[in-house]
Amino acid sequence: ARTLRLVLGDQLSDGLSALADLDADSDVVLMAEVRDEATYVRHHKQKIALIFAAMRSFARRLEARGVTVRHVRIDDPDNTQSIVGELHRALDDQPFGAVAMTECGEWRLAEMLSAFAGVAAVPVDIRPDTRFLCSHDRFRRWASSKSQLRMEFFYREMRRETGILLDDGQPVGGQWNYDAENRKKLSKGLRPPRRLRIPPDAVAQGAIADVARLFPDHFGTLDAFGWPTTAEQAETVLADFLSNILPGFGDWQDAMAEGEPWMWHGLISTSINLGLLDPLDVCRRAEVEYRAGRAPLNAVEGFIRQILGWREFVRGIYWLKVPEYRQRNFLDGDRTLPWFFWSGETDMACVADTVASTRDHAYAHHIQRLMVTGNLAMLLGVHPDEIDDWYMVVYADAYEWVEMPNTRGMATFADGGIVGSKPYAASGAYIDRMSDYCAGCRYDVKAKTGEGACPFNRLYWGFLERNRARLRDNVRLAMPYRTLDTFGPDKRALLVAEAEAAREALGAARR
């Protein structure tokens, strides 16, 4: 039957399941730029520009193959401004015998699309997203055989199944994981290499102008837009990373430096998540760099683990636990997110630098997201809904399936220990060890209490004490709780009061 094929903004892959049996003579591909998707959270301007530009280029790519594309622009006067509205409008305008689509990556929109399938006058075929290595069934099978879901064991199965970094069934080098080698701080005088960014092409310039005009009050700036918006541009960035950056990825994976937003990271999450790069291909090509002796094992294994391990793992967890996962608030966070998360106006040097990169590039690297903003939001006791909203808004690579398990799970322990086995709570000493931020900060990273002390220090012990009943039995926190126990009740009460004073000083108000 003549088929209407929906392609969503993050489904821009030639091999998309929705396009598998496409008949270019009769079928129509529907792509819709809509306000509902652009505003269900107030996404960073660069994120919207990236998605619109990539959709427009992908539509042209299909047209060049002779495919008819119904591409609805954001400023089309007939645009109903919702995906489901555009599906209905397309079906009303022209006769179709069927609708085909690839399952959507977010529960929210997936619910709307399955409701649409229930009422549509023609059959609606919702197909698996084969761009992931691990299917929902495969993940469920793995999860059902485990009492605890741990990324490390999932990752080993993915290595075995794909054969990546294996010799005769055994992990290359004799170990599955070389994380212990990946904790170097940047030595004095060493700076990360220059990065290849992609200046916006004509299509991206058009999208940037539209976003500036239509979403002026959204977070972030557009001036430094440098994200790939086509598969070819994404390939250029990947190739540069593999030849010039990957060798240092491992050593400095956890390092941070003032004014250095990229460090040795891949800058490929936006492209993989949109479908411009294929995750398995990225992993295989990183392996080639190791096999050819051009990149060390700790770098290549660490990089592959992020994609083959973490990325697939969090996606599996999301679909296993949603929608219940969206309500989790294990630590009873009840505070508002301080305004400086948006404005960047804070004397905390590490936070100011992270928010600046977030505003200017819709990017911060993993350790900034985890140990600076995530750690701070958890220590402050911010309500998880406000933390999720911030991470969904500010990063160009944010989609709920990957954002939420990282935020509610890995960074803030609001899921109570599904993604990680303990909260990544840390005092200023961690940030001082892994960065050069503290030297230029108004706060004293060595001081534990008082107005001039590093806020991470002021918050840390009070956080543990406040959450004693919830965290005391976590074996991975046995050490800090033993330390707390030696303090005695009076000192412990003082530490809670100190944390409370810091929460007030930073503007984390009761909701």
Element (H, E) at 321: helix 312-321
227 binds ligand FAD (CB under 6 A): no
Task: Write out the binding residues for ligand SF4, residues 404-443 only, by CB under 6 A.
Answer: 428, 431-432, 437-438, 441, 443
- Residue pair 275/156 in contact (Cβ under 8 Å)? The answer is no
**Pick from 272, 350, 364, 502: which binds ligand SF4 (CB under 6 A)?**
350
Which one among 380, 445, 471, 506 touches ligand SF4, defined by CB under 6 A? Answer: 445
Q: Of 89 and 328, which has the nearer Cβ to ligand FAD? A: 328
215, amino acid identity: F
Tokens 């126990």 belong to which residue?
485
- 374 binds ligand SF4 per the rule CB under 6 A: no
Our CA dihedral for 389, 105, 109, 25, rounded to 10 degrees, sits at 140
Q: Decide: is 369 part of the binding site for ligand FAD (CB under 6 A).
A: yes
Task: Verify binding: residue 333, ligand FAD, rule CB under 6 A.
Answer: no
- Answer for the pair 203, 229: CB distance below 8 angstroms, yes or no: yes
What b/e sequence results for 359-396 when a residue is b if at least 16 CB atoms lie within 10 Å of its CB, and e otherwise?
Answer: bbbbbbbbbbbbbbbbbbbbbbbbbbbbbbebbbbbbb
Which of the listed partners (ligand FAD, ligand SF4, ligand DLZ, none) does 365 bind, with a CB threshold of 5 to 8 Å by partner kind? ligand FAD
- Closest approach, Cβ 39 to ligand DLZ, in A, equals 8
**Does residue 397 touch ligand DLZ according to CB under 6 A?**
no
The one segment of 35-43, 82-90, 342-350, 465-473 that binds ligand SF4 by CB under 6 A: 342-350
Smallest gap from residue 447 Cβ to ligand SF4 (A) = 9
Helix (H) or strand (E) holding 156: helix 151-162
Two tokens, residue 63: 């047209």
Say how many residues touch ligand FAD, by CB under 6 A. Answer: 28
Q: Which of residues 59-88 bind ligand DLZ (CB under 6 A)?
A: 83
What type of residue is 499?
A
CB of 235 to ligand SF4, least distance (A): 37
| Amino acid letter for position 241 | F
Which of 34, 484 has the CB closer to ligand DLZ?
A: 34
Which residue, 420, 409, 382, 412, is CA-closest to 318? 409
Give me the residue label for tokens 């060390």: 296
Task: Decide: 411 and 329 in contact? Cβ < 8 Å.
Answer: no
Pick what 455 binds: ligand SF4, ligand FAD, ligand DLZ, none; C-beta below 5 to 8 Å, kind-dependent: ligand SF4
348 interface partner picked from ligand SF4, ligand DLZ, ligand FAD, none, CB below 5 to 8 A per type: ligand SF4
Binding partner at 335 among ligand DLZ, ligand SF4, ligand FAD, none, C-beta below 5 to 8 Å by kind:
none
Asked if residue 261 binds ligand FAD (CB under 6 A), the reply is: no
477: contact with ligand FAD by CB under 6 A = no
Q: Could you tell me the end-to-end alpha-carbon distance of the chain, in angstroms, rounded to an integer? A: 54
Report residue 5 as tokens: 């094929």
317, 318, 312: which is closest to 132 by C-alpha? 312
Helix, strand or coil, per DSSP, at residue 281:
helix
> Of 59, 268, 372, 453, which one interacts with ligand FAD (CB under 6 A)?
268
| Of 419, 342, 411, 418, residue with least CA distance to 380 | 411
Minimal distance in Å, beta carbon 127 to ligand SF4? 47
The rounded distance, in Å, linking the Cα atoms of 212 and 218 is 9
Q: Quick check: 177 binds ligand FAD (CB under 6 A)? A: no
456 binds ligand SF4 (CB under 6 A): yes
Distances (CA, A) of 161 to 133, 254, 280, 308, 504: 10, 28, 12, 11, 50
Residue 283 is a binding residue for ligand FAD (CB under 6 A): no
Q: Closest approach of Cβ 82 to ligand FAD, in Å?
A: 23
Q: State yes or no: residue 423 binds ligand FAD (CB under 6 A).
A: no
In the complex, least distance from residue 376 CB atom to ligand DLZ, rounded to whole angstroms: 26
**Which residue in 44, 47, 265, 335 binds ligand FAD (CB under 6 A)?**
265
DSSP states of 388-403 as a string? HHHHHHH-TT--HHHH
In which element (H, E) is residue 170 found?
strand 170-171
User: Residue 219 in contact with residue 44, Cβ under 8 Å?
Assistant: yes
Site residues for ligand DLZ per CB under 6 A: 8-10, 32-34, 37-38, 43, 48, 51, 83, 104-106, 109, 399
Site residues for ligand SF4 per CB under 6 A: 348-350, 428, 431-432, 437-438, 441, 443, 445, 454-456
